[in-house]
Structure 1
Amino acid sequence: MGINGELFVMVLLVMLIIYGLYRRFNTWLDEPEKPAVPVDYDSYEPDGEAASLLTDTGYEIIHGKKRIPIEIQMDAQQLESRLFIDYFVRKDDELFAVKVARSRMPVELTGSGLRDSLLIYQLLYGDMSGVIYIDTDAGTLRVVKFTVDLE
């Protein structure tokens, strides 16, 4: 291969690298940024059975109850709803949303039951490692981590 052949290969490689970087940048721009996990050490004093269970097992409560309003458009109808997260906690550099069991809304502890009830809480925030599900009646704390494979 002569000088012209080597130059052609180099230009082709540079063009491929530039194209790859351009594609990655556009993909990055199109992805919506997820909000950071709220932190509120100062104004929240954890109390109750669930908070005790969390702190006794080594979790640091970094935020109390969070209300997340949701606006829903269905055809021409405007609806409203909300999600509630009971706590945000940290342990070993991992962040978790916490849901406390409610007798009127039991979570079925199966793959599909956990997915339908808890997956949304992990997906809401970018740094979330999983969801902790606490049943204060049974005195149990369960760590649920979801891995979603989109390929």
Structure 2
Amino acid sequence: MQSGDGFIVILIVLGLAAWLYLYSRGRIKRTVEEGSPFDFLTGDDVPEDEAIGLLEEEGYRVVSGKLRIPIQIMVNDEDEVLHSRLFIDYVVKKGSEYFTVKLAKERKPLDMTGSAIREHLMIYQLLYPHTAGVLYVDLETKQVDRFIFDIDADDEE
């Protein structure tokens, strides 16, 4: 072995150690960022109903039942605060993707136009941006529609 060989071996070992450290750190960071968007959910049992049966037939696994999201609204910086809430009927998972679920309401049918879908369902995608989309379940027609909102600021149509 020549006099500089030991120095080269030390450099290679240091380089491999640095690479291993950076790789591990990046992997851990990706795992944390790609975690479930619904880590706060409990494992509460959701009672079996017609909607869950339909979702399971389509290959979805129900993760949670109804979620209530409270909203406080201030108007014109006044002291009075208005209260409201949003409801998500279910959260489901298919493969590694999560979806929020809204059930069709007889008294408020969804018009299948872009603007109506945006007005009624896009809020649930915006509320949980790590979800893959929103499922709209119509029990009357036994149909599950999947909506995926692609918001691209560069695309002006």
Do these two structures clear the TM 0.5 threshold for a shared fold by scoring above it? Answer: yes
Structure 1, unaligned stretches of length 5 or more? 1-34
What is the CA–CA distance in structure 1 between the aligned matches of 2:41 and 2:94, rounded to whole Å? 14
Q: Which residue of 1 aligns with 2:11?
A: none
Residue ranges of structure 2 left out of the alignment (5+ in a row): 1-35
* CA shift digits 1:89-116 (9 cap, x unpaired): 0102111000000112221111111000
Runs of 4 or more above 4 Å deviation = none
Whole-Å separation in 2 of the counterparts to 1:52 and 1:40: 21
Match of 1:30 in 2: none
In structure 2, what is the Cα distance between the partners aligned to 1:90 and 1:46? 17
> Which residue of structure 2 lines up, in the alignment, with residue 120 of structure 1?
123
- Deviation of 1:141 after TM superposition, in Å, equals 0.5
**Alpha-carbon distance in 1 for matches of 2:62, 2:42:** 9
Backbone CA RMSD of aligned residues: 1.5
1:65-91 per-residue CA deviation (whole Å, 9 max, x = no partner) reads 000000001122421110000000010
2:70 maps to which residue?
A: 69
Matched, 1:80 2:83: yes
Cα distance change on mapping 1:140 and 1:48 into 2, 3 Å? same
> How far apart are the structure 1 equivalents of 2:130 and 2:68?
18
The answer on 1:129 being equivalent to 2:132 is yes
- Which structure's CA Rg is the greater one? 2
Q: CA deviation at 1:133?
A: 0.1
The answer on 1:109 being equivalent to 2:115 is: no
Q: Secondary structure at the match of 1:113?
A: helix
Match of 1:40 in 2: 42
Q: Is the 8 A contact 1:100 1:134 kept in 2?
A: yes
Which residue of 1 is the match for residue 100 of structure 2? 97
Question: Aligned residue for 2:50?
Answer: 49
Matched, 1:144 2:142: no
CA contact (8 A) 1:70 1:82 kept: yes
- Structure 2 distance, partners of 1:140, 1:71, is 34
Instruction: Write the letter of the residue equivalent to 1:40.
Output: T
- Normalised by the length of structure 2, the TM-score is 0.69
Q: Residue deviations 1:30-74, cap 9 Å, x none?
A: xxxxx9324333x22242111110011110111110000000011
Counterpart CA distance in 2 for 1:144 and 1:150 is: 19
Secondary structure class of the residue paired with 1:128 = coil
TM-score (norm 1): 0.72
Native 8 Å contact 1:46 1:61 kept in 2: no
Q: Take 2:103 and 2:96, find their aligned partners in 1: how far apart are those partners?
A: 22
